[in-house]
């Protein structure tokens, strides 16, 4: 899967080069230099983000196998995609996809472009659909704010765009293409390390929590469900220093930040239908 993602990513870059590279032989060197500089400063496109996300997901699968539970996976996609419609980016280039990883570790990963992976252990943290929605909403927010893709070192992306902007596609040699592949693989490492090893910074987690609260409220879920999940995760952290509690900022800080901004004036009740489908989906 990673090799295919690399291929598609390079095709995306090269197609961009075809459109943006001026092939006229009489182009003045001065304007060519300006053109290359402009190309090297553009952000990663939605299409390129998608291919990076696919490769990151493939890397995660090598550590966490997929859980083969069609009922739970379908349910996760129903809840998750409903939440995305209330987000800043209701649609991405490749669409949103949600899947469950076969691990008792409590963790979740938002791969750039719209692939969200959640462990079975994290699903078990939730006690109702509102709480499961809260977990998914937080990960959706990371994708909306492009926190994963921002992990890529700017120097890598600038170098890649400089290569594709400096010459016409037909002039690429094996050395340039090899360097582009290496840049792509290094970019995957940047994102993977952030998701699995280092985690996001406190400001990014606070942003994702705040956005999740908005998505939940807009979709009719109880925003306080996110606090419930975090409180349960804090208790989980006393038993384990693995998964999400290892890579995320202090859970108590996130809880206090949310409590400052959630006004407990509206009473939320989980509907009977939600309760039934949640229990049915998580049943073994």
Domain that holds residue 22: 2-49+149-195
Residues 105 and 156 in one domain: no
DSSP-assigned beta bridge partners for residue 118: 100, 108
**Cα separation, 145 vs 135, whole angstroms:** 16
* Model confidence pLDDT, tens digit, residues 105-142: 999 999 999 999 999 999 999 999 999 999 999 999 99
Q: Does 165 fall in a domain?
A: yes
Residues 141 and 191 in one domain: no
pLDDT score of 267 more than 60: no
Instruction: Report residue 29 as tokens.
Output: 């060197």
pLDDT score of 27 more than 70: no
Residues 128 and 213 in one domain: yes
pLDDT score of 240 more than 60: no
pLDDT score of 155 more than 60: yes
pLDDT score of 264 more than 70: no
Inter-residue contact 72 to 282 (CB < 8 Å):
yes
Residues 115 and 225 in one domain: yes
Mean pLDDT score of the chain, rounded to an integer?
82
Inter-residue contact 134 to 225 (CB < 8 Å):
yes
Residues 139 and 191 in one domain: no
- Predicted local distance difference test score (pLDDT) of residue 98: 98
Burial class of 283 by CB neighbour count within 10 A (0 to 12, 13 to 18, 19+):
exposed
DSSP-derived pairing of the beta strands 108-111 and 97-101: unpaired
Residues 13 and 137 in one domain: no
Residues 42 and 125 in one domain: no
**Cα separation, 117 vs 132, whole angstroms:** 13
Residues 160 and 274 in one domain: no
Residues 164 and 75 in one domain: no
Q: Does 224 fall in a domain?
A: yes
Instruction: Report residue 243 as tokens.
Output: 């998964």
Q: Does 26 fall in a domain?
A: yes
HSE of 166 in the Cβ direction (CA atoms, 13 Å)? 9
Q: Does 55 fall in a domain?
A: no
pLDDT score of 165 more than 60: yes
The angle subtended at Cα 237 by Cα 234 and Cα 240, nearest 5°, is 165
What b/e string do you get for 47-84 counting C-beta neighbours within 10 Å, with b at 16 or more?
Answer: bbbbbbbbbbbbbbeeebeebebeebbebbbebbbebb
Backbone angles phi, psi at 232, to 5 degrees: -70, -35
Q: Mean pLDDT lowest for which of 35-49, 56-70, 212-226?
A: 35-49
Q: Does 57 fall in a domain?
A: no
Residues 186 and 213 in one domain: no
* Mean pLDDT, residues 36-46: 63
Burial class of 134 by CB neighbour count within 10 A (0 to 12, 13 to 18, 19+):
buried
Residues 128 and 230 in one domain: yes
Q: Is the pLDDT higher at 42 or at 109?
A: 109
**Cα separation, 5 vs 94, whole angstroms:** 13
Structural domain count of the chain: 2
Instruction: Report residue 152 as tokens.
Output: 């890529």
Residues 127 and 73 in one domain: yes
């Amino acid at each position: 899967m990673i090799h295919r993602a690399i291929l598609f990513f390079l095709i995306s870059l090269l197609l961009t080069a075809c459109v943006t590279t001026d092939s006229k032989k009489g182009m003045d060197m001065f304007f060519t230099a300006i053109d290359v500089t402009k190309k090297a400063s553009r952000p990663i496109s939605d299409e390129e983000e998608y291919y990076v996300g696919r490769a990151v997901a493939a890397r995660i699968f090598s550590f966490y196998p997929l859980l083969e539970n069609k009922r739970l996976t379908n349910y996760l996609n129903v809840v998750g995609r409903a939440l995305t419609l209330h987000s800043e980016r209701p649609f991405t280039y490749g669409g949103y996809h949600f899947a469950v990883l076969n691990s008792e570790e409590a963790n979740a990963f938002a791969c750039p472009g719209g692939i969200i992976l959640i462990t079975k252990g994290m699903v078990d943290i939730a006690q109702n659909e509102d709480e499961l929605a809260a977990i998914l909403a937080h990960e959706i927010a990371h994708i909306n704010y492009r926190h994963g893709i921002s992990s890529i070192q700017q120097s890598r992306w600038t170098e890649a765009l400089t290569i594709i902007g400096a010459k016409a596609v037909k002039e690429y040699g094996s050395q340039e293409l090899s360097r582009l592949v290496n840049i792509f693989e290094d970019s995957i490492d940047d994102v993977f390390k952030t998701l699995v090893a280092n985690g996001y910074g406190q400001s990014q987690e606070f942003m994702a929590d705040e956005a999740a609260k908005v998505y939940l409220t807009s979709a009719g879920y109880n925003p306080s469900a996110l606090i419930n999940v975090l409180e349960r995760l804090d208790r989980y952290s006393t038993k384990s220093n693995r998964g999400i509690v290892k890579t995320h900022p202090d859970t108590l800080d996130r809880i206090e930040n949310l409590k400052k901004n959630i006004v407990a004036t509206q009473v939320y009740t989980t509907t009977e239908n939600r309760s039934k489908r949640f229990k049915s989906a998580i049943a073994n």
